[in-house]
Amino acid sequence: MKGVLLSGGTGSRLRPITHTGPKQLVPVANKPVIEYAIEDLREAGITEIGVVLGNKGREEIQDFLGDGSAYGVDITYIIQGNPLGLAHAAGCARDFVGDDDFVMYLGDNILKQGVTELVESFEAGDYGAGIALQEVENPEAFGIADVDADGTVTRLVEKPDDPPSNLALIGMYVFSPAVFDAIDDLEPSWRGELEITDAIQSLLDDGYAIDSHVVTGWWKDTGKPEDILEANRLVLEDAALEAEGEIEDGAETRGRIGLAASATIEEGAVVRGPVSIAANTTIESGTYVGPYTSIGPNSTLSGVHIENSVVIGDSTLTASGRIVDSLLGRSADVESADDLLPEGRRLVVGENSNLKL
Ligand code: G1P
């Protein structure tokens, strides 16, 4: 069994964060989203991984993952080029996959329980594909499977106007190499993409059985800023957090706190977990860091109150106000203007930024 990790896409819904880097490298609990996928594949015993790259962020992803040895896997890079759909991306991996079965994992998805059960279930039978499903409240926004009373998949449809069920295909699939011929015969959908959902329907039409597996643990497609915040919440809730850095006497800490060895919580600061604070970051006196917050490396927080937020790193936050439910890109600074006249907010805001003041 091989792994095919899709890492293309434009990241348009995560602008401006994705103006400067691919969405798969946005950190959740101080770890890039794509690293969770690599770990899940390795845990399922899959170490030969093809990473499919689009036009955007190619170099950054290759610099980050390298040959995979740092993660205990062996990575081959596959260039998709223009994003013509998930089935197109999968099709680009044909030579890499050869005659093997493979797990296809969307590199911007995070799943609590990993892919081991999905792989084992697929291997226990004779299937053309295995799909992971989860109940969603907005089935119009996903690929949807119709499943009969015995759990047999009878139909798949991408973003249906009239959904036959609320069981969405989530971003993990297992395929036999038969899928490549199905992909070759696909026509673009209404959104101009080769849909992986249509390829699975075509396997079904050709008489292949499709294994389905309902995933009960949380799953998050991290396409939008609010998804990053929710994924950060979900990961921090479960993560084993260790305070290795310095907590000075007179700092008030409560709950689970991940504090990198070179990070400091100074006297007079208040930190309530679950929180993750990365290397070389200092939480100074008068600062409050509240639950479900991740602060990236090389940052200084002084006097700010922040919670339920992700600060990617290299930031200085000295504003005296409260920052909640926020995603701050690398090197974003939010500083105090308390002693400046005229009074008012001073903004240098990039394209596609979103501020609620
Ligand atoms: C894609 C798939 C869809 C699936 C979803 C999961 O949608 O086409 O079938 O349910 O991922 O995140 P997209 O993100 O391309 O809209």
Q: Residue ranges of the chain with pLDDT lower than 50?
A: none
40 and 117 inside one domain: yes
Domain at 260, CATH number: 2.160.10.10
269 and 217 inside one domain: no
Residue 235 lies in a domain: no
Of all atoms in ligand 1, which is nearest to the CA of residue 223? 14
Looking at the DSSP bridge assignments, the partners of residue 277 are 259, 295
Model pLDDT, residue 151 = 76
208 and 292 inside one domain: no
Residue whose CA lies nearest to ligand 1 atom number 7: 142
Beta carbons within 10 angstroms of residue 60's beta carbon: 17
Of all atoms in ligand 1, which is nearest to the CA of residue 158? 9
DSSP state of 242: -
Among 210, 230, 250, the domain boundary falls at 230
**Distance in Å, CA 171 to ligand 1 centroid:** 7
**Distance in Å, CA 253 to ligand 1 centroid:** 40
**Distance in Å, CA 70 to ligand 1 centroid:** 30
Of 268, 233, 235, nearest in space to 253 by CA = 268
**Distance in Å, CA 167 to ligand 1 centroid:** 12
232: enclosing H helix or E strand: helix 225-238
Domain at 174, CATH number: 3.90.550.10
Alpha-carbon span 174 to 2, nearest angstrom: 10
Ligand 1 pocket test, candidate residues 6, 84, 86, 197, most atoms within 8 A of CB: 86
Six-digit token string for 236: 């921090």
Model pLDDT, residue 69 = 98
183 and 309 inside one domain: no
47 and 174 inside one domain: yes
225 and 280 inside one domain: no
How many Cα atoms sit within 13 Å of 100 on the Cβ side?
A: 17
286 and 209 inside one domain: no
226 and 259 inside one domain: no
Model pLDDT, residue 350 = 86
Among 178, 197, 230, the domain boundary falls at 230
Model pLDDT, residue 171 = 87
- By the 10 Å C-beta count (0-12 exposed, 13-18 middle, 19+ buried), 208 is classed as middle
Residue whose CA lies nearest to ligand 1 atom number 3: 143
Among 177, 201, 230, the domain boundary falls at 230
**Distance in Å, CA 353 to ligand 1 centroid:** 25
Q: What is the pTM of this model?
A: 0.93
Residue 335 lies in a domain: yes
Pocket of ligand 1 (CB under 6 A): 86, 109, 142-143, 158, 168-171, 195, 197, 221
Omega cis (within 30) before 16 = yes
- Sheet strands (E) in 60-178: 74-81, 102-106, 109-111, 129-135, 143-147, 153-158, 167-175
**Distance in Å, CA 44 to ligand 1 centroid:** 22
**Distance in Å, CA 255 to ligand 1 centroid:** 36
Contact status, residue 276 vs residue 289, Cβ threshold 8 Å: no
155 and 278 inside one domain: no
Residue 206 lies in a domain: yes
319 and 224 inside one domain: no
Model pLDDT, residue 12 = 83
Residue whose CA lies nearest to ligand 1 atom number 16: 142
**Distance in Å, CA 220 to ligand 1 centroid:** 11
Maximum alpha-carbon separation in the chain? 73
Total count of domains within the chain: 2
**Distance in Å, CA 118 to ligand 1 centroid:** 18
DSSP state of 334: B
Following DSSP, what letter does each residue of 244-279 receive, concatenated? -SEE-TT-EEES-EEE-TT-EE-TT-EEESSEEE-T
C-alpha to C-alpha distances, 294 to 28, 237, 285, 345, nearest whole angstrom: 8, 12, 18, 25
Ligand 1 pocket test, candidate residues 52, 140, 156, 169, most atoms within 8 A of CB: 169
**Distance in Å, CA 79 to ligand 1 centroid:** 20
Ligand 1 pocket test, candidate residues 221, 222, 227, 230, most atoms within 8 A of CB: 221
Of all atoms in ligand 1, which is nearest to the CA of residue 169? 10
Of 331, 309, 356, 300, nearest in space to 21 by CA = 331
Single-letter amino acid code for the residue at 258: G
Query: Can you give the residue range of the structural domain that contains 81?
Result: 2-230
Of all atoms in ligand 1, which is nearest to the CA of residue 196? 8
Strands 143-147 vs 153-158: parallel, antiparallel or unpaired = antiparallel
Residue 333 lies in a domain: yes
Model pLDDT, residue 14 = 86
105 and 190 inside one domain: yes
Residue whose CA lies nearest to ligand 1 atom number 9: 143
145 and 178 inside one domain: yes
